[in-house]
Amino acid sequence: MRPFDYVAPNTVDEAVAILAENGPGARLLAGGTDYVVDLKHSSKAPKIVVDISRISEFSRIEMTDQGLRIGSGVTHTEIMDSALIAKHAPAMQEAALTIGAVQTRNLGTLGGNLVTCVPSLDSGPVLIALDAAVTIAGPQGKRTMTLADFFVGPRKTALEPAELLTDIVIPKAMLGRGCSFRKFGLRNGQALALVNVAASINLEKAKLSDVRIALGAVAPTVIRAIKAENLLNGKAPSDDLFTEAAEMAATEAKPINDFRASASYRLDLIRAGAKRVLAEALERAQA
């Protein structure tokens, strides 16, 4: 590893000032599960590594007027242990449990996961299915956007130079909804997703409304299966309807063939996974 400077600010403002002062040579470090691997293998050293793990507001999970706010520095283990998340967005815990092994979950953060913006990231689908928003801090102050807009492309987010992700908010209206997550890998633990899928369901007079289906690892970023959602909205739920919607969801994905799985196998996984998460989200919505 090549030498670099290291700094650990205590506040967001300090972190932003350091990023602005050092330009592209400054790199953020949260849990380090991704970035330290990069650092070891990269031929180019950063000028300065900015460790944001000491910024206390990044590790809070709290209910606000806007909804459930989760700091970007909250680890996957903290998500699994949070009573607030268990009560209001338990599908997030299902997703967190599938990330790496205990050691990765203890260090890896929600913010780090979202900023890596790889197509297979496991925190994305549930948060997209729950219409989460993100807050970004930078030299011009704070701005918010939907997580769907934050994901721009593979390994590319909407973050501008000297900006960082401060928190993720699940809007109040989405809390407590029926929501479910499934991940398919080559094995049950320590596997990257071949496909991951989440759905959230609202029921109005026993009809489906505002259904959201999010698919990961089958397109450049997490996508919503909008045609499948439209097929479901306004209808009474049934097994046949969910089969039809899952078929349609598969037509909306663009999976790749690679050494881990063929595109056609991934399409099968979408069909199976989408049907399963819809059925489970419905059960939870009815409960």
Ligand X SMILES: Cc1cc2nc3c(=O)[nH]c(=O)nc-3n(C[C@H](O)[C@H](O)[C@H](O)COP(=O)(O)OP(=O)(O)OC[C@H]3O[C@@H](n4cnc5c(N)ncnc54)[C@H](O)[C@@H]3O)c2cc1C
Contact set with ligand X (CB under 6 A): 27-35, 37, 52, 72, 99-100, 104, 107-109, 111-113, 115-116, 121-122, 159, 164-165, 192
- Which residue, 164 or 174, is less far from ligand X as judged by CB? 164
Nearer to ligand X, 127 or 267 (CB): 127
68 versus 74: smaller Cβ distance to ligand X? 74
Cβ 259 to ligand X shortest distance, Å: 18
Shortest approach of ligand X to residue 233 CB, angstroms?
29
Nearest CB to ligand X, comparing residues 52 and 231: 52
> Quick one: 191 or 241, whose CB is closer to ligand X?
191
Least CB distance to ligand X at residue 278 (A)? 22
* Minimum CB–partner distance for residue 247 and ligand X (Å): 27
Shortest CB 214 distance to ligand X, Å: 14
CA 69 – CA 231 distance, rounded (Å): 31
Instruction: List C-alpha distances in Å: 3 to 45, 47, 205, 284, 285.
Output: 7, 9, 62, 51, 53
CA-closest candidate to residue 280, choices 123, 129, 146: 129
